[in-house]
A and B are shown apart, each in its own frame.
Chain A
Amino acid sequence: MKAIVTVIGKDRVGIIASVCGKLSQHNVNILDISQTILQDYFTMIMLVDTAKCELPFTELARQLEQAGKEQNLSIRIQREDIFNAMHRI
């Protein structure tokens, strides 16, 4: 299943490394990354594949959110379908 990971927060060293580390730890494959700084805010969007992830999706979402909180970041993972539904006909 494909999903979108978004990471938003104050920019600092090592954000990408820590998020990617967390994803690889659970066998989530990263298919595409786009990253930018918007008004001092680090904004990263990743397209990932969770097919081989050993955790249930809701648990993965919870863990990412928790990891985000610890680093003062907003990290969320959402199924790709919601964005397709809203922005594609």
Chain B
Amino acid sequence: MGRPGGLTDKPFSYCPGCTHGIVHRLVAESLDELELTGRTIGVVPVGCSVTAYEFFNCDMAQAAHGRAPAVATGIKRARPDNIVFAYQGDGDLAAIGTAETVHAAARGEQITVIFINNAIYGMTGGQMAPTSLPAQITQTSPYGRDPQVAGYPLRVVEMLSTLDGVALAQRVTVDGPRNIRAAKRAIKKAFEYQRDGVGYSIIEVVSTCPTNWGLSPAAALDWLRQNMLPYYPPGVYRDVVADGHADIAQAAAARRAELAEQATGNASAGQPARRGGGDAA
């Protein structure tokens, strides 16, 4: 199987069993198939994929830790006709870059974020991440992550799915051929949404880190299935098109109207306004 045109010939430098390579390939294939590679600009984070600008065969920017969504915003605002993606890990996106992530999503930036969640800091050698699971042992949670001390992990796509600026928030995994194909469909859809101006899209990819988890590649996939997927269930958390809207503006208007109606109804019934349910989960 040859490398897609969206990747350079440079061999990946990732550890054996690391899922970065798979996801890089899915991104590159999606862009190639949509014939977008030539007008794509990627932004890579600080973390194991810090040198990913060497692997993607398009224009690339390397961003400061956590700031990829802001860098992507700057690029997209300056060149709205380009396709812009940010590729980030969990420490980058969900710890130091949470504000940039939330606000890029809230603004409905027409960018695509690929979020690699493997519940650990890889590049620095296995420290606790914002998505490390309760009781997970890492270099900086040597007795297991204690929520009483270290708090609870962030479920990023669930959190972002509440924002009107988000067109697509989906969680996938790449633990086997079937799920890899599903992940590819999600990533491709995210770029289609960007191309069509639907809104901000984020695909969270539940991933492994065999090296820092201290497991073989195969055992790491088992650990992912047994521990990660129950905590971070794959699924579509927000898809404004599937909900019957053309874009985030329409979806936001519909949600606003729905909330206003509920508020009026509740007020006449003498009850406090309550949040409407119905968001896909």
Chain A partners chain B: no
Using a CB–CB distance below 8 Å, which chain A residues touch chain B?
Answer: none
